[in-house]
Structure 1
């Protein structure tokens, strides 16, 4: 079970996983800075996988698809602090410092942030906030977010190109995007938004490109990926079903047998 403590004013979140492994998908609408306190976090994107342990810090750019696998490690549950960098604070900062706005980065990748006593002090200072019996004053939470931005820019001089990007997704190549990101299990509305389309236009363009519906195509692609991982990579069904886009193991097994006439477990045991 995932427990989450958060202060709505602060946009600062403490998460703790009480299970040995927990997976969630993320398409954050705001940039986020994450410090892993304990346990292990695997961040899986379409073309790259990152592993973060206790003391690691990373920046997750907004509107980037990622699968998060949170696990216990060394007897400790996964715990992390997430600081969301609000559009309003970032926009105010870069409007006041226009010389810092350089070419906007369209990177889809996570930014691994280096070790720094500045990060250590920053996140240590926030831990007591989660024991408060009252909400953190919004003025203080905004101050902490501004502090996070300052530290980010001090530790990594390249983040301006990411943080100063306030553009919305534009219309992109639908076929290329779907072939790359089909394993992410999210609503069609999110797929359409990330490809720069309305839902109606997305469905129309999808039908034209693939000659089928998005739901049928996504299921087929996910099952084909699952079969490859079971047969060629010798992975177990319980380790892959979420990574290939299914919400639970029973639904995955049912769909797999319906498609291939054999259960994932039976195929994996061959």
Structure 2
């Protein structure tokens, strides 16, 4: 059986919170494509938004992982259809994809608020040992006895995402409002946080920044949720600049 084309692939838009007549929030997953880390935050954002996420390509049978950040951004917009997001959220890889989504939306005259957690606009440089550690964390998140085929699809998707990040550097400015939340740990997640943050500042003229008292992989845990939602709520409550 041949694999489906992009047009024939299953719909990847996942409804997390549906609120009638509320503005749309789009959430983009980190490496591995899992959405479970976002569920608590989605519940909070659901107080103001209808919240959707885009499942990473490659996680269901017959689906093919995407090879570039540009392709991920384009397919996220395609999954949204005629929905126009008022807020785009992304963590790690998802933040990088979120940036590219917003740049493309700005070309259409739409400037959603953008919230990025611990992402870099620079090419990713990682050792095989670091990639292996992250792979194990992602697989562990599948549960105690994950199906072998599921593990294989997740690992293949992760490898494609790693290659995409290694070959990507953010080049275009985003003129909309943006919030960059960086995690505190210096030896986990992304490297060169200060260099990355300085580059974000060059690319985003309307950028707010803050640091979270959490590590890259525990930022969505209940112990850190109040700080995370507090920073996001304060940003969303600020007046838009004229």
For normalisation by structure 2, the TM-score amounts to 0.30
Q: Answer 1 or 2: higher relative contact order, Cα 8 Å, separation at least 6.
A: 2
Which structure is larger by alpha-carbon Rg, 1 or 2? 1
Q: With structure 1 as the length reference, what TM-score do the two structures score?
A: 0.28
